[in-house]
Amino acid sequence: MKGSTRNEIIRLHYGGASQRRIAKLLGVARKSVARVLVGHEQHRAEPVEAERPRRPSTLPEVVLSSFVSASSSR
């Protein structure tokens, strides 16, 4: 089944259409509509993976140390 059909099933469901009506409108089996909606609900129920903390940049240390060494040699 195409992704656009899946999106349309979900859109119609949130619009209040019954599974039977969605199946008839899109020309797909009622079981297919039910399967898409169950998969969508399960996907929404999954916990969102937290973003990993970023490592601190080492650039400022390098820039500062080169600046200090260049200034002291003058």
pTM for this entry: 0.61
Cα angle value 10/15/16 (rounded, 5°): 100
The band of 63, judged by pLDDT with boundaries at 50, 70 and 90, is low
Q: Where are the domains of the chain?
A: 1-47
Residue with tokens 């940049």: 57
The residue ranking higher by pLDDT, 16 or 1, is: 16
Cα angle value 18/23/29 (rounded, 5°): 130
Cα angle value 57/59/62 (rounded, 5°): 135
